[in-house]
Every structure is written in structure tokens, then in C-alpha cells.
Chains A and B, each alone.
Chain A
């Protein structure tokens, strides 16, 4: 069995960083990354990007050395992706924040409103309902992160946690401040409006959860396979007939429901910003599906049936 030699060069300076000899042909990129970490411990595998060209695409961890277009001396270019943090950690932090922050405002903890309101309760039923819905939403997200989602990537750049937490925590504080404010004005159409909004919210929460479960079941544990998602027996998943990312569709729907329930402009703005971001993600995912699968259903649009 012929062994390979692997040299790893810095993609920017072309400096030789590492030379590995007697590498097995069936070695994966993941194994090579582990070997590289031995000589450069500060660059743990998650922050290594190895490519065949200095500005080329990153090689995947599962790629096998002998299946790559390299000679018996393989040259890889290394780029440092920066400090990494696990997706699970980011999700748990960014979701725990809104859950707790909203409750601080709900219970009117001191220094948020005037002292005469400390630890008082709102007299509007909708305010209590809104707290229940908002808390339910984020508890659901935390549980899904722990038990439902199967992540393709282990890590993301560390700076994302600051960016993401600012977004989630900031908006949560801004919304919670007004909804739980002593001078909060309940919805103009009263109970009718709240009931409709609650129905929309619950429907979309169930829908969103159904999609998450369907996506989980597409992929065996520990694998990173990608398949076209299809409707299952669960009626909430029938939205897959019209849309590539129904989880995002349902998510926007939930927030529209919450906006109608609270009749609060900051909530509307949060829904709008979220929609824009999710539409961008959905377009990207939709294009990935089209590129990867020749037989992708043509009727589907990324996030809004027929429109977007």
C-alpha cells in the first residue's frame, strides 16, 4: 500500500506549516486535521479550513485523501477560521436570554419601571397570555436544540455569539418593556383579536415543530446526509408541497400571531426583520436544493407559497 505525503501551507503566506509523511490513502481530512493539531495545538480541527487551492473551497471532513485530485505528495492550503464555538452553545445562549429577559419585565423587577410599579402585575389578561406564549416559544426552541435538531456543522465563528445574542436579547428586552409596561394599551378589537392571534400562534408553533421533527427524521443520527424533504402523514408537513423551508414560514406566522395578540410595534418590527433574514436563508437553501437534486419539485418556492 503506497503511503502519501502531506504538506500543509499557509494560504496567505505560502509558508510551510506542517509536513506529514506515511499518511494512509484512506485517511480522511478529519484525520489529517487531527494530525495538524498535534504540531499546532492552537489550531484545533474546528478552526481549520484546508483547501486544494489558496482561495479554493474548503475540503470536507469526510473527504478521503486518495479520492482527491492530488499526487502522492498532497499540498493543502490552510486558513484559520478563527475561534469557534459550537452551534448548540450559541443556540442555548441566544434563546435562554429572551426567556429570562422577558420574565424580568413581566414580573416588573426593580429599575425597569418606576419604583411604584416594582413587582406589580398587569391587569390585562392579554399580557399574561403573551408572557405564556413568548416563554413557551423559547422553551420549545431550547428543547428542540437539545433533543430535535441534527446540526450539519459542529461550530460557527465565535463572534457570531455576540452578534446573535445582541439581536435576540436586544429585541426581547425592547418588546418585553412595552408589553409589560404599566401604560400598555390592549388590542383595539379586544378578545376577538386576542383569540384569533392565539389560534394563529398555536397553529404555527405546531407547524414549526412538525417540520423540525420531519427534518430530523430525514437524517440518521450522526450523519450529515441531505435529502429532499417531503410531506408526511402529519398535515402540518403538507406545506412542503408549496415551500422549501416551511419551518421558516411557520416561524414568521407565529410572530405575526404574536404581533396581532400584543398590538405592539416593536413586535411587528422584530417579525419583519426576522422575516427578511429567514427569507434570505430560505432562498439560499432553496438554491442549494435545486443545485444538488435534479428532480427537485418545481412547484416549491423558498418561503412564501408562489410568491417568494
Chain B
């Protein structure tokens, strides 16, 4: 689940909390968040354009990852800051949820695509890259306009509707990519620690990846349903009665 959809509040200089109370951020925090979100929108736009140009000029997706990897790595890694934003409180989303989402992106970029070069030309890589690009451009421009208090309805519409297709498509891209990587991981034994060793522990990256793939089964429906609920609340003003715990 490397989608970065969060709960409805997101960023904003004056925010609607779920119970209707508004909060205001300091001027410095607002300025920083505006800068951050404009920069990220621009970065993912550049990535999208680079991918389109490559494909138009070469007519193939082979070599596309290599050509855009620097931009991808820079902007996706920079997104770690979003965890800090939550921790510091200038963004009102759970640190844990944001942490999980950013971590899964970092994992795909660095521990799968970067480390296992043989899968870089898989079609599934292009699939999740395209999904991520569209999602992030929508998401960061949503935050930017929100912070500036001038949110065009079509951006809000995009943010709360695109995911319906993009989220499952992205999951498919990620799972297919991890699956394609498995044989190379098994052959090279990368990132693995065998017995005997003085820490009396072992780690098998191959089986770890299989567990990661299975973990999508409980996690994906929960996140997807959460976003559907957010969509109903934001776009249709429905009052959602949460299940009591």
C-alpha cells in the first residue's frame, strides 16, 4: 500500500477537524507547508513529464526507470518529512499512518526497485510509477490549494475519486514487482543473515518479501474502505457513525 492518501484533514492553514472545530497554524508553519507542497507538486510533475518524454522518444519502457530514478528517489525520499510534520503537529494526521505509508514507498523505491536491478524493466514498475505520479500530483496540489484557501472543486473531486481506480492499480503494480523480484532475491541471498552467527538470529529476505506480499491482504481492504468513508464524508457530507470499540 504505497498510496499516500491520508484521512480527510490533510494540510491546511485553517483546518476542519472531524468534529468541526477549526485550528489555525502559525504563519511560519503555513509558509513552510505551502513551499513544501508546491515543491512536491512540481517534483512529481517533472517526474511525470520525464516519463512521458522518455516513452514518446524511445517508444519503449525499457530503460525508463534508470532514466528517471534520480528524480524519483529524491522526491519520494524527501516525503519522509511528512512524518516529521505530523510528529511536530503542523499536519493533523496520525504519525503512525503517515509513517506506514511513507515507509512502504521508501521500501518499494530503495529495497526493491533500486536494489534488485533485474526487475527495473518490468511493466509492473511502470504501472506503479504512473499511479504514484498521478496520485501525488493530485494530492500535493490539493494540499497547496487548501493551504491557500482557494481549492478548485475539480482538484477535490480528483483527490477523492482517482483513488478508486488508482489504489488497486498501484497495489497490483507493487505486488507484481515484488513477485518478479523473488527469484533474484533467492538466488543471490541478498539482505539475508544465516546461522551460525554470534547474535543467534537469522533473516531471510526472500521469505520476508513473501510475508510482505501476504500482508497486503488484510491491510489493503482496510485502507481502501477508510478512503471510501472519507470520500463519502467530504464529497457528500454524510455523517459516518463510527463503530464503537
Q: Which residues of A contact B (CB under 8 A)?
A: 12, 79, 178-179, 181, 183-185, 188, 262-266
Residues 188-245 of B contacting A (Cβ, < 8 Å): 195-202, 244
**Overall SS of chain B's interface:** loop
**A12 vs B200: C-alpha distance in the bound complex, in angstroms?**
52
Q: Kindly list chain B residues whose C-beta atoms are within 8 Å of the C-beta of A264.
A: 199-201
Q: Are B196 and A263 interface neighbours, CB within 8 A?
A: no
**17 interchain pairs, CB-CB under 8 A:** A178-B195, A178-B200, A178-B201, A178-B202, A181-B200, A183-B195, A184-B200, A185-B196, A185-B197, A185-B198, A185-B200, A264-B200, A264-B201, A265-B199, A265-B201, A266-B200, A266-B201
User: Quick one: which of A79, A181, A263 contacts B198, CB cutoff 8 A?
Assistant: A263
Q: Are A263 and B244 interface neighbours, CB within 8 A?
A: no
Additional pairs, 5, CB under 8 Å, beyond known A178-B202, A185-B198: A12-B244, A178-B200, A178-B201, A263-B199, A266-B200
Chain B residue nearest in CB terms to A11? B244
**A79 vs B244: C-alpha distance in the bound complex, in angstroms?**
10
**A22 vs B197: C-alpha distance in the bound complex, in angstroms?**
74
B173–chain A nearest beta-carbon distance, Å: 31
User: Quick one: which of A184, A188, A262, A265 contacts B196, CB cutoff 8 A?
Assistant: A184
**A264 vs B202: C-alpha distance in the bound complex, in angstroms?**
10
Tally of chain B residues near chain A (CB < 8 A): 9
Chain B residue nearest in CB terms to A157? B245
Chain B residue nearest in CB terms to A174? B201
A49–chain B nearest beta-carbon distance, Å: 11
**A266 vs B201: C-alpha distance in the bound complex, in angstroms?**
7
**A12 vs B241: C-alpha distance in the bound complex, in angstroms?**
11
Q: Are A181 and B195 interface neighbours, CB within 8 A?
A: yes
Q: Are A183 and B196 interface neighbours, CB within 8 A?
A: yes
**A179 vs B244: C-alpha distance in the bound complex, in angstroms?**
43
Chain B residue nearest in CB terms to A178? B200
Q: Kindly list chain B residues whose C-beta atoms are within 8 Å of the C-beta of A179.
A: 200
User: Quick one: which of B195, B198, B202 contacts A188, CB cutoff 8 A?
Assistant: B198
Interface string of B2-29 (1 = CB under 8 A from A): 0000000000000000000000000000
A160–chain B nearest beta-carbon distance, Å: 13
**A26 vs B197: C-alpha distance in the bound complex, in angstroms?**
68
Q: Kindly list chain B residues whose C-beta atoms are within 8 Å of the C-beta of A79.
A: 244
Chain B residue nearest in CB terms to A184? B200
A262–chain B nearest beta-carbon distance, Å: 7
A12–chain B nearest beta-carbon distance, Å: 7
A-B pairs with the 9 shortest C-beta distances? A265-B201, A183-B196, A183-B195, A264-B200, A265-B199, A178-B200, A185-B196, A185-B198, A266-B201
Q: Kindly list chain A residues whose C-beta atoms are within 8 Å of the C-beta of B244.
A: 12, 79
**A300 vs B220: C-alpha distance in the bound complex, in angstroms?**
46
**A262 vs B201: C-alpha distance in the bound complex, in angstroms?**
11
B150–chain A nearest beta-carbon distance, Å: 38
B198–chain A nearest beta-carbon distance, Å: 5
B165–chain A nearest beta-carbon distance, Å: 35
Q: Kindly list chain A residues whose C-beta atoms are within 8 Å of the C-beta of B202.
A: 178
A182–chain B nearest beta-carbon distance, Å: 9
Q: Kindly list chain A residues whose C-beta atoms are within 8 Å of the C-beta of B198.
A: 185, 188, 263
**A18 vs B124: C-alpha distance in the bound complex, in angstroms?**
60
